[in-house]
A and B are shown apart, each in its own frame.
Chain A
């Protein structure tokens, strides 16, 4: 492609991300799946970078999972979201950052609907007023939490204790970046880099020393797909999607996977166990799987946090091979110790995939 033409197209996918003062909302499921990720996000922004991030215990789910499962109507979802915006308005903020990709996609969709159908927005304002006596302003900027880590990726790199580099060989680690579908596939202009060439995670990987690998199914869904998974009889669809991705990335020998969605790391991680139990196949070296991380966990590793404080022991696929490659120190005996130092129960080990 002609360089100037490419620059013109690319200019449509640049995103203005304010520097400070954010209202933060958490995900419904991430604290169960990857318990330290959101804490790490707040820790990095507040303590490492000195930013003002506000959160309130009064916020609720965005309603995304129920909406995408067709369990609640759209107007209900819109009113839930209107209440979240009201909390932001009452706290005196105008920049809204959410932890979840599904939420980000839904907020974007709702704001776009209101822009196109003002009468719908008026109706939702009326619903919210009748139900809660609250009013709201639409956020001046809506961002996903990974947008902020992307924005400050170089500041994080300056404080880094470890890099995404194989300590033994000096080679960059080979990283698969997987973007949640609802980040930019619905509204490409709302994501950093658009839908086809999103740069939000690739930028972090490059700043922190790794090498992003390209593979045929790079933009394929992780397999979550809500209804594919929620009904047990349909889970074969979800599993097959994930299997397709792993078969596609396997020849490129990735060292790790980094994701920015609540569902993607969970399914890319857990389905490796199910695939191993059903087919006997593993995708990492020597019977291990490919470790899967959230971007906050990777940022935490780079900044030198203890892997067990980052919650990496809750992953299905063992992370130790990657920690060894990066040269991150860890104590195997502390893996299943609680915060008080007391030994927690050890999980049962699977048959076909090594978990250290």
Chain B
């Protein structure tokens, strides 16, 4: 091998198709609409909880797709299920139901069950 004095830098591209993510697959089975999200951030911009906490549904969905649930699940504790995000979602995703399903799949079911009317 020739030493040119420089070399290839490994790509920082994350290949979603190579990520083994059974929990997200289970979420996708329950909530097929989760892959419709285009990460526009309308939900985050309209989020009441987001005014006072780090809650960002856009980040939650992206991180779950990338298998980084530990970083973001605590955020969901702040959701009040007010449903404003559902009103503004351009993809028509039932975000309240999605958040409840995330809680069930990722082990936050108890907390979410309590706030359910």
Asked if B19 is at the interface of the complex by the 8 Å CB criterion, the answer is no
Whether B5 and A240, one on each chain, are in contact in the complex, defined by CB atoms closer than 8 angstroms, is no
Whether B1 and A240, one on each chain, are in contact in the complex, defined by CB atoms closer than 8 angstroms, is no
Whether B4 and A240, one on each chain, are in contact in the complex, defined by CB atoms closer than 8 angstroms, is no
Q: Which residues B1-52 have CB closer than 8 A to chain A?
A: 1-2, 4-9, 11, 13
Give the residue of A235, A247, A279 whose beta carbon is less than 8 angstroms from that of B4.
A235
Q: B6 — which chain A residues lie within 8 A by C-beta?
A: 232-236, 239
Q: Which residues A276-319 have CB closer than 8 A to chain B?
A: 277-279
A275 to B1, CA, bound (A): 11
Asked if A243 is at the interface of the complex by the 8 Å CB criterion, the answer is yes
Most chain A CB neighbours (cut-off 10 Å) among B2, B6, B7, B13: B6
Q: A274 — which chain B residues lie within 8 A by C-beta?
A: 4
Q: How large is the interface on B (under 10, 10 to 19, 20 to 34, 35 or more residues)?
A: 10 to 19
A232 to B11, CA, bound (A): 20
Chain A interface mostly helix, strand, loop or mixed? helix
Q: How far is the CB of B109 from chain A (nearest CB, A)?
A: 38
Q: A232 — which chain B residues lie within 8 A by C-beta?
A: 5-6
Whether A240 and B9, one on each chain, are in contact in the complex, defined by CB atoms closer than 8 angstroms, is yes
Q: How far is the CB of B8 from chain A (nearest CB, A)?
A: 5
Whether B7 and A236, one on each chain, are in contact in the complex, defined by CB atoms closer than 8 angstroms, is yes
Whether A278 and B11, one on each chain, are in contact in the complex, defined by CB atoms closer than 8 angstroms, is no
Closest to A237 in B: B9
Asked if A46 is at the interface of the complex by the 8 Å CB criterion, the answer is no
Q: B2 — which chain A residues lie within 8 A by C-beta?
A: 277-278
* Interface residues, chain A, with chain B CB atoms under 8 Å away: 232-237, 239-240, 243-244, 247, 274-275, 277-279
Q: B13 — which chain A residues lie within 8 A by C-beta?
A: 244
Chain B interface mostly helix, strand, loop or mixed? loop
Q: How many A-B pairs with Cβ below 8 Å?
A: 35
**With A236-B8, A239-B6, A240-B9 already in contact, 12 other A-B pairs whose C-beta atoms are closer than 8 Å:** A233-B6, A234-B6, A235-B4, A235-B5, A237-B9, A243-B11, A244-B11, A244-B13, A275-B8, A277-B4, A278-B2, A278-B4
Q: A244 — which chain B residues lie within 8 A by C-beta?
A: 11, 13
Closest 7 pairs (CB-CB, A-B): A235-B6, A236-B6, A240-B9, A277-B2, A236-B9, A240-B8, A236-B7
Q: B11 — which chain A residues lie within 8 A by C-beta?
A: 240, 243-244, 247
Q: How far is the CB of A235 from chain B (nearest CB, A)?
A: 4
Q: How far is the CB of B106 from chain A (nearest CB, A)?
A: 31
Q: How far is the CB of A263 from chain B (nearest CB, A)?
A: 17
Whether B5 and A239, one on each chain, are in contact in the complex, defined by CB atoms closer than 8 angstroms, is no
Q: How far is the CB of A240 from chain B (nearest CB, A)?
A: 4
A169 to B1, CA, bound (A): 38
Q: How far is the CB of B20 from chain A (nearest CB, A)?
A: 22
Q: How far is the CB of A283 from chain B (nearest CB, A)?
A: 14
Closest to B9 in A: A240
7 A-B residue pairs with CB within 8 Å: A232-B6, A235-B6, A236-B9, A240-B8, A240-B11, A278-B7, A279-B8
Q: A235 — which chain B residues lie within 8 A by C-beta?
A: 4-6
Whether A243 and B8, one on each chain, are in contact in the complex, defined by CB atoms closer than 8 angstroms, is yes
Q: A239 — which chain B residues lie within 8 A by C-beta?
A: 6-8
Q: A247 — which chain B residues lie within 8 A by C-beta?
A: 11
Closest to A238 in B: B6
A232 to B5, CA, bound (A): 7
Q: B1 — which chain A residues lie within 8 A by C-beta?
A: 277-278
Q: A236 — which chain B residues lie within 8 A by C-beta?
A: 6-9
